Chains A and B, each alone.
Chain A
Amino acid sequence: DQQVKQNSPSLSVQEGRISILNCDYTNSMFDYFLWYKKYPAEGPTFLISISSIKDKNEDGRFTVFLNKSAKHLSLHIVPSQPGDSAVYFCAAADSWGKLQFGAGTQVVVTP
C-alpha cells in the first residue's frame, strides 16, 4: 500500500517565483519526513528534513511545513532557480530510518 503520496506529477514555475510541492501520508507513526532531489541517472540528494514533533524547518531557500492533523507536508523553494529543475521526492522514515517514498514531482523552472 502506498503510504506516501505526491499527487502532482509535475510542476512548472517561473524563475524567481515560489515552488510549492505537496505530499500526503497515511501512517501517523512516521518519525520524521525528508525531501530529496534527483537528477536523471543519479541517486537522490538529501535536501531537508523535519521531525514529526515540529511544524516547520527552514534551510536557506528551502522550507518544509508539516501539518500532522492533516497528515500533509509541503516543501517551499523560494526563489526558484533553473538549477532546481529536477524530480523531488517526499519520504517518510520510521524509527530505523527506513524510508517510504512518494512517486515524485518533476519540477521545471522556466526563465
Chain B
Amino acid sequence: DTGVSQNPRHKITKRGQNVTFRCDPISEHNRLYWYRQTLGQGPEFLTYFQNEAQLEKSRLLSDRFSAERPKGSFSTLEIQRTEQGDSAMYLCASSTRGNTEAFFGQGTRLTVV
C-alpha cells in the first residue's frame, strides 16, 4: 500500500482519558502534517514536520496536544485529558518538498463521551 495510513480509524474515549493516534506517511515523503476537521468546516492545520523536526504548531494546539515523528518516519499525535471539544476527525497528510500535492490519510474519528 503506497498511501497514507492512519490508525485507528475510529476512537471513542471517556472525557479525561489520553488517546494516541498514528500516521504512516508515504515512504519517500519528508513532510508530514496533522489537521483537524469538525462538522461543516474545512480541515484546520495543527502541526507540521519536515523529517523528524517539528517546524510549526498552530495556536489551536493546546498544551494537552503533543506530536512526534521519531526518525522522520511515522508520526503520533497524543491528546491528554481529552475534552468533549476534542471530538473531531484528525487527518494526517504527507508530501515531498517542492511538490504541490499533499496526500491525506483516511483520518481518525475521535468521539469523546
> Bound pair: A and B?
yes
Whether A98 touches B45, Cβ cut-off 8 Å, given contacts A43-B4, A43-B105, A103-B40, is yes
**Interface size of A in residues (CB-CB distance below 8 Å):** 25
Stretch of B12-20, B68-76, B78-86, B95-103 lying at the A interface? B95-103
Contact B95 A89 (CB under 8 A): no
The smallest C-beta distance from A66 to any residue of chain B, in angstroms, reads 13
In the complex, whether A51 has a CB less than 8 A from a CB of chain B is: yes
Task: Give chain B's interface residue range (CB within 8 Å of chain A).
Answer: 20 to 34
Chain B residues touching A, majority SS: strand
Contact B91 A103 (CB under 8 A): no
In the complex, whether A65 has a CB less than 8 A from a CB of chain B is: no
Partner of A96, one of B40, B56, B100, B104: B56
Partner of B109, one of A41, A44, A99: A41
In the complex, whether A101 has a CB less than 8 A from a CB of chain B is: yes
* Residues of chain B contacted by A49 (CB below 8 angstroms): 100-101
Which residues 11-56 of B sit at the A interface, judged by CB distance below 8 A?
Answer: 31, 33, 35, 40-45, 48, 50, 55-56
Task: Return the chain A residue nearest B44 by Cβ.
Answer: A101
Chain A residues touching B, majority SS: strand
Contact B100 A34 (CB under 8 A): yes
**Interface flags, A87-111, vs B, CB<8A=1, else 0:** 0010101001111111110000000
Whether A43 touches B33, Cβ cut-off 8 Å, given contacts A49-B100, A93-B100, A96-B55, is no
List residues of B whose CB falls within 8 A of some A CB: 4, 6, 31, 33, 35, 40-45, 48, 50, 55-56, 91, 93, 95, 97, 99-107, 109
Q: Which 4 A-B pairs have the closest CB atoms?
A: A101-B42, A43-B104, A49-B100, A43-B106
